[in-house]
Amino acid sequence: MTTSTGTAGGRRTGGIEVRPVAGHIGAEISGVDLAADLDDAVVGEIREAVLRWKVVFFRGQRLDHAAHVAFARRFGEPVVLRRRGRAPPPDVPEVETTADRLELGGRFGMDHDEWPRRRRHTLLRGWHCDHGARVDPPAATILRAETVPPYGGDTTWSNLAAAYAGLSAPVRAFVDGLRAEHRLGVGYQPRPGDDAYVRHLLGHQIATVHPLVRLHPETGERVLFVNGYYVEQIEGLSRAESAAILQMLLEQAVRPEYTVRFRWEPGSVAFWDNRATIHLAPADTAHLAFPRIMHRVMLHGEVPVGVDGTPSEPIPGSRPGHW
């Protein structure tokens, strides 16, 4: 049996406590061992907290790869990754490590300093949802920290439902009916001369027309479905109009009041709704000599639908995106 009682700004059910940490987004959940066999009530509480607070944090967890995947499976179907590098544990293809992404840059002749720099050359470009150029971006991501630097390396998330609600009524009405092209590689700053990553992008296009305002499939909220990483162009607008409006919407999306920043410790886990948030990976550790090893499991997501019910569509000629 579970009982709910009020605590100081938090909510306690059975042994678990959900304590919000910022005004619009983020809650820390304590009193639960994610490696244990969780009962349905606890899973329900966590699911509700993810939907309400968009990202939830757990500390001091002792998950290994198999337990990480088992926990994820309580909330959806984990994405099985095509092997991208040598780093993923071969027997657990649902788990991706940060080393994979460093290796990805290495495949194109870049070290781990140059790789993020070329993909993040403006203030807003680094903000993204995971795999947002796919027609069915993951519903959620569960990221766990194994080794973190003693300082630096924080991740920040923003609540796109709150950002939408914070727009003025005329702008909400304007953006409600719009759609935008999302494409892998937007904002990437090519290397001079031959660039292996550009060649890769041309051969592996992943591009989708998504609604600019997405109806959340579980909460029914309207979500400002923008990010700096994939959104290329708003359909039907001129290049200049689109650029100006996207800039305005992105600035809205990442206003500090809609964000939360998390300081990782070994054993920390962040679980976010990838349909209602964007996040910013840290850019303040590349010059430090400290390792940062993280493991990620994503859950399969739905094809987004707009306010009028129109679903996202892959752009002809592009690939739907493979795992």
Among the candidate windows 30-38, 61-69, 91-99, 124-132, which touches Fe ion by CB under 5 A? 124-132
Among the candidate windows 46-54, 127-135, 145-153, 196-204, which touches Fe ion by CB under 5 A? 127-135
Of the candidates 68, 125, 130, 179, the residue annotated as catalytic is 130
Which is closer to Fe ion, CB of 11 or CB of 296?
Answer: 296
- Output the smallest distance, CB 279 to Fe ion, in A: 6
Which is closer to Fe ion, CB of 119 or CB of 216?
Answer: 119
Supply the DSSP string of 242-261, one letter for each residue: HHHHHHHHHHHHT-GGGEEE
- Output the smallest distance, CB 107 to Fe ion, in A: 18
Of the candidates 68, 125, 214, 296, the residue annotated as catalytic is 296
* Residue 279 appears among annotated catalytic residues: yes
- Output the smallest distance, CB 234 to Fe ion, in A: 23
For tokens 């490590």, what's the residue?
Answer: 97
Q: CA nearest 52: which of 26, 16, 75?
A: 26
What is the C-alpha end-to-end distance of the chain, expressed in Å? 40
* Residue 128 appears among annotated catalytic residues: yes
- Output the smallest distance, CB 223 to Fe ion, in A: 17
How many DSSP H helices and E strands does the chain contain? 8, 18
**Contact with Fe ion (CB under 5 A) among 130, 181, 221, 273:** 130
> Alpha helix locations (H) across the chain?
40-53, 65-73, 98-107, 114-119, 160-165, 169-176, 196-203, 239-253
The answer for residues whose C-beta is within 8 angstroms of residue 260's C-beta and 6 or more apart is 21, 22, 24, 25, 26, 55, 156, 157
Among the candidate windows 7-15, 109-117, 129-137, 162-170, which touches Fe ion by CB under 5 A? 129-137
Which is closer to Fe ion, CB of 13 or CB of 277?
Answer: 277
Of the candidates 128, 131, 134, 210, the residue annotated as catalytic is 128
For tokens 């094809």, what's the residue?
Answer: 303
* Residue 130 appears among annotated catalytic residues: yes
* Residue 275 appears among annotated catalytic residues: no
Q: Which residues are catalytic?
A: 128, 130, 279, 296
